[in-house]
Amino acid sequence: MSTNKVIKEVEVYCREHGIRFTDQRRMALEIIASSKKPLGAYDVLAEMGKEVENPKPTTVYRALDFLLEHAFIHKIESLNAFVVCHAGHSHEGSQFMVCDDCGKVEEVHLCHLPKDLKKKIDDTGFQLTRWNTEIHGTCNRCQP
Amino acid sequence: MSTNKVIKEVEVYCREHGIRFTDQRRMALEIIASSKKPLGAYDVLAEMGKEVENPKPTTVYRALDFLLEHAFIHKIESLNAFVVCHAGHSHEGSQFMVCDDCGKVEEVHLCHLPKDLKKKIDDTGFQLTRWNTEIHGTCNRCQP
DNA sequence: TTGAAACTGTTACAATATAACATTACATTC
DNA sequence: GAATGTAATGTTATATTGTAACAGTTTCAA
Ligand SMILES: [Zn+2]
Ligand SMILES: [Zn+2]
Ligand SMILES: [Zn+2]
Ligand SMILES: [Zn+2]
């Protein structure tokens, strides 16, 4: 999905939900959405630095927190890096295939927790709020 | 499983596989295995400091790398913290239930990737090396 | 129009992790 | 058992990632 399309959709979503989509937030989202690979917070910071004077980590992390909270982006925990959401709707679970060769990440997106996991969780009385699966390996483009 | 039992098993495993289970590695494993909650690298460092003079981060991270490599411990990526493996055998995938209230983590352990994920991965030709699921929420002891 | 809440600016710092290079211990082979 | 190569450790410094705290500003609605 094109960066413009992502921005447009988030714009609409925010307007409809009375959420403020400020310049900093838009800028951070644009940067992440235009990247082919996950970006670290300080990568985003560096990119921001090309458009505004000397931005600070706090600024970036605040924008990231906002974007995460509304699930416009996700954090790849094993990389400390961020990607734009490609599922098109808010979801409590995220799944990613991470290529350790080229560094690209693809969001898989299952709407529901797999049955066998769900069962184990229900059995223990655990109350789920969110879940995340990160699958590492080699993408098909990077194989011999 | 008791700390002693874990240590004994790893000892045997290492002897049988010609792997060196040195004092530092043993100490790090003991510290992690005796903890009720996941420990950060610097928590381990602090504990080590009670037994040896002024250990350094490098020392801890080396021990952790070793223990991770042989899957005696796992890293909870969303917490930057480490737990002892409770599955009893090496495995390419790990699953955890993380209680955001009390901080305790339980290893679920499915031997295989859930079918629906497996299918998506196979469809794209992705070659898996390892996978990790972290489920956040509230454990049954922490619920009202 | 004013008061509360959300957002931003700024400074400083905390927490997590690695690089680089010197030294020591260990196992293997001659 | 000396020579040798590899694995493990010691040491110093630094890189990377993420927050705390508090002051100032904007927004929106009562
Ligand atoms: Zn998503
Ligand atoms: Zn690849
Ligand atoms: Zn395990
Ligand atoms: Zn709990």
The predicted-structure confidence for B91-108, as pLDDT tens digits, reads as follows 889 999 999 999 999 999
pLDDT > 90? residue B62: yes
- The verdict on a CB contact (< 8 Å) between A106 and B124 is yes
The reply to whether the CB atom of residue B23 sits less than 7 A from any atom in nucleic acid chain C is: no
Q: Other CB atoms closer than 10 Å to residue B121's CB: what's the count?
A: 20
Asked, for residue B142, whether it belongs to a domain, the answer is no
Structure confidence at residue A144 as a pLDDT band (50, 70, 90): confident
- The verdict on a CB contact (< 8 Å) between B137 and A114 is no
A137 touches chain B (CB under 8 A): yes
Q: Closest-CA residue in chain A for B120?
A: A108
What does the block give as tokens for B19?
A: 């792997």
Q: Which residue is nearest to nucleotide D20 (CA to C1')?
A: A58
pLDDT > 90? residue B69: yes
Cβ burial, residue B32 (10 Å; 0-12/13-18/19+)? buried
Do B76 and B98 fall into the same domain?
Answer: no
The predicted-structure confidence for A21-73, as pLDDT tens digits, reads as follows 999 999 999 999 999 999 999 999 999 999 999 999 999 999 999 999 999 99
**Mean pLDDT of the B123-137 span:** 96
Residues of A in contact with B140 (CB under 8 A): 124-127
Do B23 and B69 fall into the same domain?
Answer: yes
Do B71 and B112 fall into the same domain?
Answer: no
Give A137 to chain B, closest Cα distance, Å: 4
- Rounded alpha-carbon distances, angstroms, from residue A63 to A45, B42, B73: 10, 28, 34
Domain closes at, from B41, B63, B84: B84
Mean pLDDT of chain A: 95
Nearest by CB: B132 against A127, A130, A134: A134
**Mean pLDDT of the B70-99 span:** 94
Provide the domain count of chain A.
2
Do A18 and A70 fall into the same domain?
Answer: yes
The parent domain of residue A115 ranges over: 93-137
Do A25 and A78 fall into the same domain?
Answer: yes
Do A52 and A12 fall into the same domain?
Answer: yes
Do A9 and A67 fall into the same domain?
Answer: yes
Beta strands B127-138 and A127-138: pairing type? antiparallel
Mean pLDDT of chain B: 95
Do A41 and A112 fall into the same domain?
Answer: no
Residue in B53, B36, B30 with CA at minimum distance from that of residue B44: B30
Cβ burial, residue B54 (10 Å; 0-12/13-18/19+)? exposed
**Mean pLDDT of the B122-133 span:** 96
Q: What H or E segment, with its residue span, contains residue B130?
A: strand B127-138
Asked, for residue A143, whether it belongs to a domain, the answer is no
Asked, for residue A144, whether it belongs to a domain, the answer is no
Round to whole Å and give the CA distance between A81 and A128: 24
Domain closes at, from A41, A61, A84: A84
> A106: domain CATH number?
3.30.1490.190
Give A94 to chain B, closest Cα distance, Å: 10
